[in-house]
């Protein structure tokens, strides 16, 4: 009997690169785990035909009903709905403990909106579906970045920064990902320059002090000036960063480690990892998609089954 973990894989937006990635990586992935693809054979064969290939004999599926015509590179309600249904199937498999983890391939947020789906993405949906306050963390072993705020307009970020909420975030993050030291970024240029460029850093500093006191160790450092946190010298010291908003953390992270980075949802009752890139409609079904992020997401999902967050 195989001792490999079973991982449900949601196929993402079939108008994008997700299916190409899972098909390219199948022979490698099946050596790491037992992949269970959330799709039906009609859609799988249609996608494979567009890639001028065939479905492997050992391509195991969990049937997700529904059919539509794949249109490479096109945003559509049909592809959005199917990607959501594939995702929900994977989540339900994990909730019932039929699988050990889920790995998600990229969806398109506008396609979800066109399909009438209220969530802005996987993490937002997981919070509601699992009634858990998930933390979004992206990166690789060289550098992980956790996001204090995620998919909200930039103008709303300052109003979300307060000592109590950030303190709660830092405690939850430490309980789910125990690595140190962790750099907590300031919000403003020069980390506010002692109030000259903003005073949000006062609340960030207070949250850091309180969190370290609660933990009993100086885990968190900061507020760190954002424009130096990702420099080579800083990366020698900091392997983990907490960013105040989406692009503050992810723009430099992806500039450094785009091909190998992954997305991990921390604080959930199930294990979920993902690639850290989008649907790449511009290269869909052109056999140009890279698989390293997907492979790393599979490996991380397996490692998280050891219950050792430091092993990721």
Report the alpha-carbon distance of residue 182 to residue 179 in Å, rounded.
7
- Tell me the pLDDT of the chain (312 aa) as tens digits: 468 999 999 999 999 999 999 999 999 999 999 999 999 999 999 999 999 999 999 999 999 999 999 999 999 999 999 999 999 999 999 999 999 999 999 999 999 999 999 998 999 999 999 999 999 999 998 999 999 999 899 999 999 999 999 999 999 999 999 888 999 999 999 987 888 888 899 999 999 999 999 999 999 999 999 999 999 998 989 999 999 999 999 999 999 998 899 999 999 999 999 998 999 999 999 999 999 999 999 999 999 876 544 445
Which alpha helices (DSSP H) does 138-269 contain, by range?
Answer: 157-160, 163-176, 200-215, 232-237, 246-257
Structure tokens at 222: 């900061």
What is the distance of C-alpha 165 from the center of its chain?
A: 22
> Rounded to two decimals, what is the model's pTM?
0.88
- In the chain, the domains with their CATH numbers are 1-131+268-312 (3.40.718.10), 135-267 (3.40.718.10)
Q: Answer for the pair 169, 135: CB distance below 8 angstroms, yes or no.
A: yes
DSSP 16: T
Structure tokens at 40: 């039906």
């Amino acid at each position: 009997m195989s001792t490999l973990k079973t991982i449900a894989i949601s196929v993402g937006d079939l108008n994008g690169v997700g299916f190409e990635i899972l098909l390219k990586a199948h022979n490698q992935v099946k050596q790491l785990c037992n992949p269970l693809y959330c799709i039906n054979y009609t859609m799988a064969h249609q996608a494979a035909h567009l890639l001028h290939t065939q479905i492997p004999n050992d391509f195991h599926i969990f049937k997700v009903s529904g059919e539509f015509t794949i249109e490479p590179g096109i945003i559509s309600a049909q592809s959005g709905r199917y990607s959501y249904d594939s995702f929900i199937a994977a989540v339900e498999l994990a909730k019932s403990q039929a699988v050990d983890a889920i790995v998600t391939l990229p969806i398109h947020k506008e396609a979800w909106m066109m399909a009438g789906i209220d969530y802005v993405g996987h993490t937002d949906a997981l919070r509601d579906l699992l009634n858990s306050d998930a933390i979004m963390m992206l990166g690789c072993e060289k550098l992980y970045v956790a996001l204090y705020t995620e998919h909200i307009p930039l103008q709303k970020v300052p109003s979300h920064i307060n000592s109590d909420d950030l303190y709660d975030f830092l405690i939850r993050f430490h309980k789910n990902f125990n690595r140190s030291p962790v750099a907590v970024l300031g919000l403003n240029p020069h980390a506010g320059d002692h109030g000259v460029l903003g005073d949000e850093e006062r609340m960030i500093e207070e949250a850091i002090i309180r969190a370290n006191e609660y933990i009993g160790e100086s885990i968190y450092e900061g507020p760190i000036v954002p424009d130096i946190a990702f420099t080579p010298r800083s990366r020698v010291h900091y392997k983990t960063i907490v960013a105040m908003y989406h692009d503050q953390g992810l723009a430099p992270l992806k500039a450094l480690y785009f091909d190998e980075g992954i997305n991990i949802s921390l604080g959930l009752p199930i294990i979920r990892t993902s690639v850290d890139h989008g649907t790449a409609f511009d290269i869909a079904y052109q056999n140009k998609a890279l698989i390293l992020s997907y492979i790393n997401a599979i490996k991380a999902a397996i490692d998280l089954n050891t219950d050792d967050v430091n092993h990721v």
